[in-house]
Amino acid sequence: MTEAYRQHVAHPSAWRGSDLASGDDVIVTLTAAHVDALDAALQHVTASGLTLDTVERADFDLTAIADDIAEIEREILHGRGIVILRGFPIDGYSLEDIEIMYWGLGCYLGVGESQSTLGDRIGRVEDVSGKDRNQRAYRNSVELLMHTDLTDIIGMLSVRKAPVGGLSSYVSVATLHNEILTNKPEYLESLYRGFRYHRFGSEAPGQDPVTEHEVPVLSEKDGVVSARYVPDYIYMAYDELGEPIPERDMAALDYLNALTRDPDLRFDVMLEPGDLSLINNYAIMHTRSAFDDGPTPQEKRLLLRLWLSNEYERPMADVLDIFAERGISPQDDKDTYYTGRANASAHQD
């Protein structure tokens, strides 16, 4: 259990959505030099016969723009925690080529991790199941609660928009901590103690469906506040265990969820094709609104997701992991559809 931190956090990542409303502070428009470097590296990979499954950083030479990538990395890890790259090359490239360029760029920010039991290096964020909450969130189209993922840096590259919905939203973890400290400090104990988590069918053989330990929603080390929050997995855990979430703890979660919907706190942006969102997973929570695809392939929303483990050792509590290792281990006998006993719709907020 991590002790509740009761100091105000002053840091560049402690922004309010209203501060970023114009997007000017977080949007970086790629230049011709950036696009040319990505294209040249792609051509080398293609000529070498490499594929998405075999290409690594050493194969993808971005020396010409390495300083710019390093500055982006600094902003993600030590600055506001969010950067949106605008103008990633999409037009005129096959989806496979886009994925290789995306992966190659990602290799300069971290090491890619498997995102599901499918072993996907790049997760295709698309609707494969409609509004079915038993499907992993990145493969359905329902509205999501604000949450974190299970890695260090998350990338979301927009390839196609849906005709309706799909708005991306972000909120600062440090700001959430500060708001709770100011207005409802009594809830910090519950959030810093944490909750048990459901593994949503992605547990390894022999592993329990629910974590044995409580995972703190908020935690602090050396004055750095971090978050691990997947609310649906908390609600499912206690449904699986047949235990109610205590009233004070539930009130703390409800208040946190309400804060993440505050328009003054959250930063909303529609990711246009070619927009690449990169966020610090411990400093920023994210979500997306529900969406509806159109009837043609060009009207079917598609984002490409990267999970990246960065070599920077952020000061963090050592109880944030839900699985035994980083990422989610591939399993030949499983896909991303949940078939267990707990109710994936146990809590509709």
| 335 has a pLDDT exceeding 70 | no
Radius of gyration in angstroms for the set of CA atoms belonging to the chain, rounded to a whole number? 20
Token pair in block for residue 104:
């190659």
The model's pLDDT over 14-70, given as tens digits with 9 standing for 90+, comes to 999 999 999 999 999 999 999 999 999 999 999 999 999 999 999 999 999 999 999
CA-based nearest residue to 300, from 160, 174, 195: 160
Ramachandran class of 166: left when φ > 0, alpha when ψ lies in -120 to 50, beta otherwise: left
pTM recorded for the entire structure: 0.92
Enumerate the domain spans of the chain.
17-309
Superfamily for domain range 17-309: Clavaminate synthase-like (3.60.130.10)
The model's pLDDT over 106-152, given as tens digits with 9 standing for 90+, comes to 999 999 988 776 778 899 998 886 655 666 566 677 889 999 998 99
Q: Tell me whether residue 32 is exposed, middle or buried, using C-beta atoms within 10 angstroms of its C-beta: 0 to 12, 13 to 18, 19 or more.
A: exposed
The model's pLDDT over 276-327, given as tens digits with 9 standing for 90+, comes to 999 999 999 999 999 999 999 999 999 999 999 999 989 998 888 887 666 6
